[in-house]
Amino acid sequence: METNKSCQLCGKSFWGRSDKKFCSNACRYEFNNQKKIIRNEPQSLINSILKRNRSILDKVCVGDSIIINRDELLHRQFNFEYFTNLQVDAQKQLYYFCYDFVYLPFFENNLQKVKIIRFNMRKLTWDPWKFVKEEKETLSNKIIFNSK
Binding site for Zn ion (CB under 5 A): 7, 9-10, 12, 23, 27
The length of the chain is 148
Q: Could you tell me the smallest distance in angstroms from the CB atom of residue 41 to Zn ion?
A: 23
Q: Could you tell me the smallest distance in angstroms from the CB atom of residue 32 to Zn ion?
A: 13
Q: How far apart (Å, rounded) are the C-alpha atoms in residues 15 and 3?
A: 5
Q: Which is nearer to Zn ion, 20 or 118 (CB)?
A: 20
Q: How far apart (Å, rounded) are the C-alpha atoms in residues 131 and 49?
A: 30
Nearest Cα to Cα of residue 55 among 101, 96, 20, 94: 101
Q: How far apart (Å, rounded) are the C-alpha atoms in residues 136 and 1?
A: 74
Residue 87: φ, ψ to 5°: -135, 155
Q: Which is nearer to Zn ion, 9 or 73 (CB)?
A: 9
Q: Which is nearer to Zn ion, 20 or 70 (CB)?
A: 20
Q: Which is nearer to Zn ion, 10 or 50 (CB)?
A: 10
Q: Which is nearer to Zn ion, 25 or 120 (CB)?
A: 25
Q: Could you tell me the smallest distance in angstroms from the CB atom of residue 114 to Zn ion?
A: 51
Q: Could you tell me the smallest distance in angstroms from the CB atom of residue 28 to Zn ion?
A: 8
Q: Could you tell me the smallest distance in angstroms from the CB atom of residue 33 to Zn ion?
A: 13
Contact 117, 65 (CB under 8 A): yes
3-state helix vs strand vs coil in the chain, percent to 5: 35, 25, 40
